[in-house]
Structure 1
Amino acid sequence: MSKYTTFPDATDDHNPFQDPSVTQHSSNTGYATLDLYNPFDNNTVGPPPPYEATSPAAPPPALTPTNRTTPTEPRNYGSNGTQSAVNATTADLLRKQEELERKAKELERRERELDAHALGSGASRQNNWPPLPSFCPVGPCFYQDINLEISQNFQRTVTTMYYYWMFTACTLLFNFISSLAMFCVDTTGSGVGLGLAILWAILFTPCSFVCWYRPVYKAFRSDSSFNFFAFFFVFFAQLVVYVITTIGIPGWGFSGWIVSLAALKVNKVVAVIMILNSVLFTGQTAMGVVLLKRVHSMYRKTGASFEKAQAEFATGVLSNQAVRQAATNATVSAAQGAFTGAR
């Protein structure tokens, strides 16, 4: 029993798998294993089959990650809240950039204006309107530059007024064409209307530019209360004339609705032309009312008043050299008359 109770030395490296019985069993190829021999199979006759070593199974193929992020692909490290904050920051930066660009344009315009005024009070700008060719014996009469002289807040309104004036001029020209067409089919009763149509086109086109477009241009250019009141007075009178042109009183030289509908009895083709002219007159009147209300609303925001208009008028009259010379001459004449009468 001593051999079973003694412990191996610490220096003895005992391996239980190196036991002779184990090694003899593992090296015996004639012994069947459970995965090859079934002892409960009745059809098996004779000794169990010899042991056959199975070939090791092939290792599974290595799996490559499908969602591998490359350095060039964008990575989303945040949640939806972080992405929304980034989008809001980007929109805020774009808005600030647009505001800075707008201010830069305004500063550039102001700088050009200051450079123009730096030439001195005696220096005058070269007129550029109307844009006549160089060979024309008559030169431009006015200087006009909406982008330079008008503040950015009012540029759209002044530009709209300029296009509206051009529309009224084209409508008067078309009124002359429709009156000429009516005169061609009815020479007896349309001669006066044709003559007046020519007169209105020649008279209203330049007068409307000088009497109401230039005042509204100068009003927005220098915030002039006097020019605002001049525009309102003249433009309201112009709207009354537009209403008359839309009605089309016979013999007045306007191809309005009454004259156009009456032309259906004379010639339908000419009547269609005149009805189209009536539609233009109607649109002209409606647009005039809308623009008058727009200018009036902007006038109220500028701080203009009737007292300022009176002060500007008095200042302009006193600063006019011709008026001062006439007043001086009148004063001298009155003094000489009084002195002569006293003698």
Structure 2
Amino acid sequence: MSEHDSNLFTEPELSNPFQESSVTQERQTPAMATGLEEFNPFTDSKLMASKPPAAAPGVPTQPAIMKPTEEPPVYSQPRAQESTGGAGELLRRQEELERKAAELDRREREMRSLSASGGRRNNWPPLPEKFPVGPCFYHDITVDIPVEYQKTVKIMYYLWMFHTGTLLANLVGSVAWFGVDPSRGADFGLAVLWFLLFTPCSFVCWYRPVYGAFKSDSSFRFFLFFFVYVCQLGVYVLQSVGIPGWGACGWISALMCLNTNVATGVLMVLVAALFTALAVMSLVMFKKVHSMYRTTGASFQKAQQELATGVMSNKTVQAAAASATSRAAQGQFKERI
């Protein structure tokens, strides 16, 4: 009976499956040494070894860029050209709209200035209010001149100011030369005359015509400017040459003065350089104004018409013509009687 009463589950043949050698080897891992509660599969050395190395901090990474290995199809190029042409057309229209807006803004400022002052008042030259002589001209480039011509007119105004400063420097150089060489009294006197004469005459004879030409698109004023400015350019060339006795501290006079006094000669060399720079810049601006004149549609026929219209609209000319006509009519009436 004892053989039949024995427990079958305690037989040595039916051993525990977890006691197998392979399972026991796997259980004897570092996880068993630290306990099952602290085991982290993500810190396993095998898993860590299989992970790719992380990028070092601070090293910039760039996305992969695929370069085309062949040219785009032919049918896509005309579309790109059409899109480029459309963008250029839009930019051109935008520039035109901005130019028109600036022109309207200029006219609005002009109307405001007129309404605020009750009419245009002369503001140039800027003299004090207590001065016995008042301003002679109205000068405002941002109001009178269209936007596309304002830069050119400003350069011409700065060129006139440079012209005035050069004449003043020429006067100083002539005074220094006269102090070194008393026989140069004629040069000193002519330098004073050129400064007093050419400063206002240059403003009236060539700056105001180009100012009015761009203001009202006047062909007659353009031709007047070209005629006077060519003469002025010739004067600049003669002054830069510096012929002794002509009142200009040009190159010849400066080299002559270097033999007498070095300091005065150096001063006159600087004045000669100013005259040369003035001649070069005047030639450049003459070409620029002439190129802009050709785009305005002005012509010699329009200049003749403007001259005839201006002469006939003059009240003095009208009064003289009326008196001459009345006298001629009275003479013919007396002859018939």
TM category (shorter chain) comes to 0.7 to 0.9
Maintained 8 Å contact 2:187/2:248 = yes
Aligned to 1:275: 269
CA distance in 1, matches of 2:254, 2:103: 49
Letter in 2 for 1:106: E
Aligned to 2:42: 60
Q: TM-score, normalised by structure 1?
A: 0.72
The alpha-carbon distance between structure 1 residues 324 and 115, as it changes in their structure 2 partners (threshold 3 A), is farther
Letter in 2 for 1:202: L
CA distance in 1, matches of 2:331, 2:10: 161
Letter in 2 for 1:244: L
Aligned to 1:139: 134
Identity over the aligned pairs, expressed in percent?
A: 51
Aligned to 2:105: 108
Letter in 1 for 2:235: V
Report which of the two structures shows the higher radius of gyration computed on alpha carbons: 1
Q: TM-score, normalised by structure 2?
A: 0.73
Q: CA deviation at 1:244?
A: 1.2
Q: Deviations over 1:255-286 (max 9, x none)?
A: 11111111122211111111111111111111
Q: CA deviation at 1:148?
A: 1.4
Deviating runs (4+, > 2 A) in structure 1? 19-22, 24-28, 31-37, 53-59, 78-81, 94-107, 110-119, 329-343
Q: CA deviation at 1:324?
A: 1.0
Aligned to 1:155: 150
Q: Decide which structure has greater helix share.
A: 2
Q: CA deviation at 1:342?
A: 6.1
Are positions 1:292 and 2:279 aligned together? no
Query: Structure 2: 5+ residue runs without aligned partners?
Result: 1-8, 26-30, 49-53, 56-62, 69-79
Aligned to 2:169: 174
Letter in 2 for 1:112: R
Maintained 8 Å contact 2:99/2:147 = no
The alpha-carbon distance between structure 1 residues 33 and 98, as it changes in their structure 2 partners (threshold 3 A), is same
Aligned to 1:165: 160
The alpha-carbon distance between structure 1 residues 79 and 293, as it changes in their structure 2 partners (threshold 3 A), is same
Are positions 1:184 and 2:179 aligned together? yes
Q: Deviations over 1:3-57 (max 9, x none)?
A: xxxxxxxxxxxxxxxx9989x63388xx5634658xxxxxxxxxxxxxxx94444
| RMSD between aligned residues | 3.7
The alpha-carbon distance between structure 1 residues 103 and 312, as it changes in their structure 2 partners (threshold 3 A), is closer
Maintained 8 Å contact 2:170/2:248 = yes
Letter in 2 for 1:174: A
- Count of aligned pairs between the two proteins: 285
Letter in 2 for 1:60: F
Query: Structure 1: 5+ residue runs without aligned partners?
Result: 1-18, 38-52, 68-75
Maintained 8 Å contact 2:114/2:120 = no
CA distance in 2, matches of 1:267, 1:325: 62
